[in-house]
């Protein structure tokens, strides 16, 4: 009998929530076939079965959060290749793509390696008994014939394009439909000129006692619960203060306008202002290490590296993927890393460990029109920097003249338990100076 345990999906991850069991007790399951979905710090991950066999018992129900190593289920192995010792399932390969453009100094934390569990051959008597034992009848599936083994990405992509998944032939393990299968089906339908099917109307919500006319009551999603818990803990546990500077980014706007097309053609990603801000912030963090630190009880943990969290808005809320070892990257590497992490965050394809380990965080509400923002600190960070909207404003320039320039407010929420106003202000002044005076053109590797 193989014991399936909550897997260790990252060095800093200590627990996970069972979102959904993709198999029921009595179901047959193939090795590497998705067995259940878990959520760890706002990242959903499918976990495959470690062996081929029959799911005998489910020990942890959906919606329950348990520590890493907790026994979740028992599988009766189909042959001698089954694990005799308790085994931790590992994420499916399709859910764990490699992080793009790692820097030479980048060293993402990895879970400690484990030796392979011991295996043993069953005795003839055991094998005979297993073959002749009556098998419990399989429970009817609660969903469609294939939807129980579909990843959230596949389900969402099919729904967006009105694709009937019963018409898609799966090429994954055990006939599983993968994202590549769905994308190929969408392209084939478009090439044939077949219009996309319109999704049917959403079912009316069940009446809720006490709800008035025009009122809809919905339960919080597990991701919104995770966000709420994390934000409330930050507000309750930090002594949050706030500082703001105004930055003249006229030369950055001109540089971007002059080079954005060549940049995209050469490097394959858009050139935004965020990579410049990240570079300027990394330099300021190295000059003021307490802003790049964290509190651990009565101790201060100072980091000699920078892992930058970048807040990304997506359909389920807000998530903060982390660029590991960003202090070893140039502006081009940072731009590529941001584009990669943001696109995979919105496609729900991040690994759990890619939202862990930030030493500082940047949020960017500017594209949505925000002028001044006061973000909540992403614990255990000491601070979070906010880049708001770039606007043309009249400002005083040399010789007391008034001119129109591209200006932006850059603010930081910081934890007064660890740093004081002087450090916070000097840190932001360094960021401002970098953005106003650095020559980023050479860093982009493009002709002037």
Q: Averaging pLDDT over each range in 208-212, 270-274, 443-447, which range is the top one?
A: 270-274
Annotated active-site residue 416? The verdict is yes
Residues 149 and 168: beta-carbon distance below 8 Å: no
Q: What residue ranges define each of the domains in the chain, with the CATH number in brackets?
A: 1-106 (2.40.50.100), 144-200 (4.10.320.10), 224-444 (3.30.559.10)
Annotated active-site residue 420? The verdict is yes
Q: What is the pLDDT of residues 275-313, one digit of tens each?
A: 999 999 999 999 999 999 999 999 999 999 999 999 999
The secondary structure of residue 142, as a DSSP letter, is: S
Rg of the chain taking only CA atoms, in angstroms? 26
CA 2 to chain centre: 30
pTM of the model: 0.66
Q: How confident is the model at residue 215 (pLDDT cuts 50, 70, 90)?
A: confident
Provide mean pLDDT across the span 418-445: 95
Provide mean pLDDT across the span 100-106: 35
Report the b/e string of 279-295 with b at 16+ CB within 10 A: bbbbbbbeebebbbbbb
Q: Tell me whether the omega of the peptide bond preceding residue 280 falls within 30 degrees of 0, making it cis.
A: no
Candidates 7, 40, 34, 61; CA nearest to 151 is 34
Active-site residue identified among 251, 283, 416, 443 = 416
203: pLDDT strictly greater than 70: no
Extract the tokens encoding 342. Answer: 């943001």
Active-site residue identified among 420, 439, 443, 447 = 420
Separation of alpha carbons 102 and 203, rounded Å: 45
Question: pLDDT: is 412 or 87 the higher one?
Answer: 412
Candidates 85, 120, 99; CA nearest to 352 is 99
Extract the tokens encoding 256. Answer: 């971007």
Provide mean pLDDT across the span 49-63: 92
Separation of alpha carbons 426 and 50, rounded Å: 53
């Amino acid at each position: 009998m193989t014991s399936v345990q909550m897997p260790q999906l990252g060095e800093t991850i200590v627990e996970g929530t069972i979102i959904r069991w993709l198999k029921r007790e009595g179901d047959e399951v193939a090795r590497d076939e998705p067995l259940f979905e878990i959520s760890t710090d706002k990242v959903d991950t499918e976990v495959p079965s470690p062996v081929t066999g029959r799911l005998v018992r489910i020990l942890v129900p959906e919606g329950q959060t348990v520590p890493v190593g907790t026994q979740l289920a028992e599988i009766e192995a189909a042959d001698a290749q089954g694990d005799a010792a308790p085994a931790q399932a590992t994420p499916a390969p399709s859910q764990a793509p490699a992080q793009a453009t790692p820097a030479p100094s980048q060293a993402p934390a990895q879970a400690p390696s484990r030796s392979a569990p011991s295996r043993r051959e069953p005795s003839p008597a055991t094998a005979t008994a297993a073959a002749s034992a009556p098998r419990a009848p399989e429970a009817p599936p609660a969903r469609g014939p294939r939807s129980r083994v579909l990843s959230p990405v596949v389900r969402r992509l099919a729904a967006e394009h009105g694709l009937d998944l019963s018409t898609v032939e799966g090429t994954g393990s055990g006939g599983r439909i993968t994202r590549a299968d769905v994308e190929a089906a969408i392209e084939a339908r478009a090439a044939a000129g077949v219009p996309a099917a319109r999704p049917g109307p959403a079912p009316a919500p069940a009446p809720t006692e006490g709800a008035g006319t025009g009122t809809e009551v919905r339960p919080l999603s597990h991701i919104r619960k995770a966000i709420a818990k994390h934000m409330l803990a930050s507000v309750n546990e930090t002594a949050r203060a706030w500082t703001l500077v105004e930055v003249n980014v006229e030369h950055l706007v001109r540089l971007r306008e002059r080079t954005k097309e060549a940049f995209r053609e050469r490097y394959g990603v858009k050139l935004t202002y965020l990579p410049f801000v990240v570079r300027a912030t990394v330099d300021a963090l190295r000059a003021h290490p307490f802003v790049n630190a964290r509190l651990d009880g009565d101790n201060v943990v100072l980091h000699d590296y920078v892992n930058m969290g970048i807040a990304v808005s997506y359909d389920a809320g807000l998530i903060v993927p982390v660029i590991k070892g960003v202090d070893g990257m140039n502006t081009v590497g940072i731009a590529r890393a941001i584009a990669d992490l943001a696109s995979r965050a919105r496609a729900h394809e991040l690994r759990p460990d890619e939202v862990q380990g930030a030493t500082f965080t940047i949020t960017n509400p500017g594209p949505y029109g925000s002028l001044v923002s006061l973000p909540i600190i992403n614990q255990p960070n000491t601070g979070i920097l906010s880049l708001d909207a770039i606007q043309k404003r009249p400002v005083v320039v040399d010789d007391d003249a008034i001119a129109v320039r591209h200006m932006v407010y850059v603010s930081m929420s910081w934890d007064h338990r660890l740093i004081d106003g002087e450090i916070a202000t000097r840190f932001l002044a360094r960021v401002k100076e970098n953005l106003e005076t650095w020559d980023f053109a050479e860093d982009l590797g493009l002709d002037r």
